[in-house]
Amino acid sequence: MQKQYGITVKEALSLNIVNSLKIVGGHKGLDRVIKLVNVIEVPDIMDWLIDGEFLLTTGYSFREYPEQMKTLIPRMSESNSAALAIKTKRYMNEIPVEIISSANHFSIPLLEVPYDLSFSEIIAPILGVVFNKQNKILQKLEQGHKNLMDLALNGSPLEELCKETGKLISNPVAIMDREGKLIVNKECPDQYKFELFFSDQSVEIKKEKLRIGNIKEVKYSLEYTSDTDKPLTIKAIRIPIIADKYQYGHMVAIVNNPISEPDILLIERAATIAALEFTKRKAIFEIEKSYCNDFLEILLSGDFENISEIIDRGKIFNIDLKLPTAVLIINENSFNEIKEINRYIDIEGPHTKEDLLRAINGFLKKQKGLNLLAGIKGNNIVVVTNTSADNTAATLKEIVATLIQLMDESAGSTMQIKVGVGRAYPDIRSINRSYEEAREALKISQLSDEAGVVFFDNLGFYKILSEKNRSELEQFVDELLKPVFEYDHRKKGELIKTLQTYFETNRNLKLTSCRLYTHYNTVLYRIKKIEELTGISFDNPENALNLEIAINILKLFHNNSVS
């Protein structure tokens, strides 16, 4: 990748006049690239060695410091210098054997310069070729930057940016945004490779860091496999799309043809332009979100006088407030986390509520017949949705299921989304009532380890628990049932399971034994054992009720069916 900035030592030795230099050591390093030429006649040159440097010397400075000459070759290897040429017959009669041996060891080409050849005669042709190559690179970069900036100034879509960048680097380019959407020019013949690259069937076989200027990204080599096709190795380079410490996605190039450092710099420039486009979209999103949230505040509060005006405003947000309307509240634990502001948000990292809101709004734009309004209120996403007038409960369940599937696809399995759903009401003034119901349902959902979606309609007994926090409820359960838990743990018993079934069957011992496939006398013994351990008699209605409440709380904590 370095060769475009210079020429190899082997190529330099083919140039006129330079071909008179004699190779005396380091033959295996003739492919090292010369990017500049320097004359050294001072002993402290060790501190100034740089990558791609071709050093010329008469050995003058090493006459009194022969130990410096011994360390020169190893230090050149550390700095990735190109080669060393020594003019003999003036200050050095011949090149020392240990220097030749060191050059061979480190594969640093060691050249002998004829006594009658000046350094300027060597420098001129080499730098002429190097400068010509570097000038072509600068022209390519300048023209590429101009083309990309023209796209940015003309407001071209991101698909066009990918297409133009692909032309400039002779490799297909696409964008994978934060929501997992692939943005690629429709005419791109390699679109399937991008899809394979980001599919679950791609297996990473190599990953290496790039270090080019300010770019510190990952170069991937992945292998796609399937049951019918032979493995397909896909090489790609990913450059992050970042603005204001927020990562919007990646600019990705599939490496079909050799790629150079200037090509990567052009990808980086394209990523910067993409970041500007994403920043513009984010600004529009923030404005729309602000308008939407203001309307939501009014709608959910129920504090409005002119109903017709509110209904008209609802139409702007694609919701018909004349139809039955319900409220959903969506929460996820990561919504409440405060992220470090000095850290880039990684594309594979936690999603924010703004990310999910964008996904919902993007989904709505593609759907017909789905009328709902989504916004942010505190740490939650609030959704106001229309339902059918005929079967509101069934329609509401379908809408919730659709949204849950969308959020699962957008956020992945790492998120534990909790949803509370209020009832649908035909009266616009009852929307705030549905909102309060959704809040109560969400509280119950958050108390449960497994319940993701809770409908207020199905809460029943659990409504009385919504004002309590989990620690209080756990303490209540523990005070009543701790001896039973300990007994089950110690004896590997089934007292808790029996007690749960006992209450589910309305305290019918015979039906309990049938459900547990256990003898009647065994169930009777277990019930007596529970009374003994807890000190509670089932003949006392108040005590029995407390036990039943404790069992129901226990069910809630591990319930996934409050829907």
DSSP annotation of 414 reads T
Reported pTM:
0.57
What's the order of all strands across the beta sheet hosting 325-332? 372-377, 380-386, 325-332, 417-421, 453-455
pLDDT at 38: 92
Give the pair of three-digit tokens for residue 212: 């080019």
Domains of the chain: 3-131 (3.40.1390.20), 155-280 (3.30.450.40), 302-458 (3.30.70.270), 470-557 (1.10.10.2840)
Sign of dihedral through CA atoms 102, 108, 114, 116?
Answer: negative
Give the pair of three-digit tokens for residue 423: 């009832």
Give the helix ranges, DSSP H, for 213-352: 261-301, 307-316
pLDDT at 483: 85
Cα–Cα nearest to 164, from 269, 49, 83: 269
Name the strand (E) or helix (H) holding 417. Answer: strand 417-421
pLDDT at 505: 85
Measured distance CA(358)–CA(448) in Å, rounded = 27
Measured distance CA(462)–CA(456) in Å, rounded = 10
Task: Give mean pLDDT in consecutive 10-residue pieces for the chain, a chain of 563 residues.
Answer: 73 93 94 91 76 89 72 90 91 87 94 92 92 81 85 87 92 89 89 85 80 68 68 86 86 90 87 90 85 88 85 87 89 52 37 76 72 85 85 83 78 70 88 87 71 76 60 74 85 85 83 87 86 83 76 64 43
Measured distance CA(165)–CA(161) in Å, rounded = 6
Give the helix ranges, DSSP H, for 330-463: 353-366, 392-411, 431-447
Place of tokens 């009532």: 433
DSSP annotation of 93 reads S
pLDDT at 56: 93
Cα–Cα nearest to 282, from 327, 244, 310, 255: 244
Instruction: Specify burial of residue 164 (Cβ count, 10 A radius: 0-12, 13-18, 19+).
Output: buried
Measured distance CA(480)–CA(496) in Å, rounded = 12
Cα–Cα nearest to 324, from 211, 397, 252, 423: 423
The neighbour count for residue 218, using CB atoms within 10 Å, is 14
pLDDT at 458: 75
Measured distance CA(197)–CA(178) in Å, rounded = 16
- At residue 347, the 3 state secondary structure works out as coil
DSSP annotation of 561 reads -
pLDDT at 164: 92
Chain centre to alpha carbon of residue 542: 54
pLDDT at 265: 86
How many Cα atoms are found within 13 Å in the side-chain-facing hemisphere of 36?
Answer: 7
Can you say whether residue 330 is alpha, beta or left, with left for phi > 0 and alpha for psi between -120 and 50 degrees?
beta
Measured distance CA(373)–CA(556) in Å, rounded = 30
Name the strand (E) or helix (H) holding 75. Answer: helix 66-79
pLDDT at 101: 93
> 3-state SS string over 164-230?
HHHHHHCCCEEEEECCCCEECCCCCCCHHHHHHHCCCCEEEEEEEECCECCECCEEEEEEECCCCCC
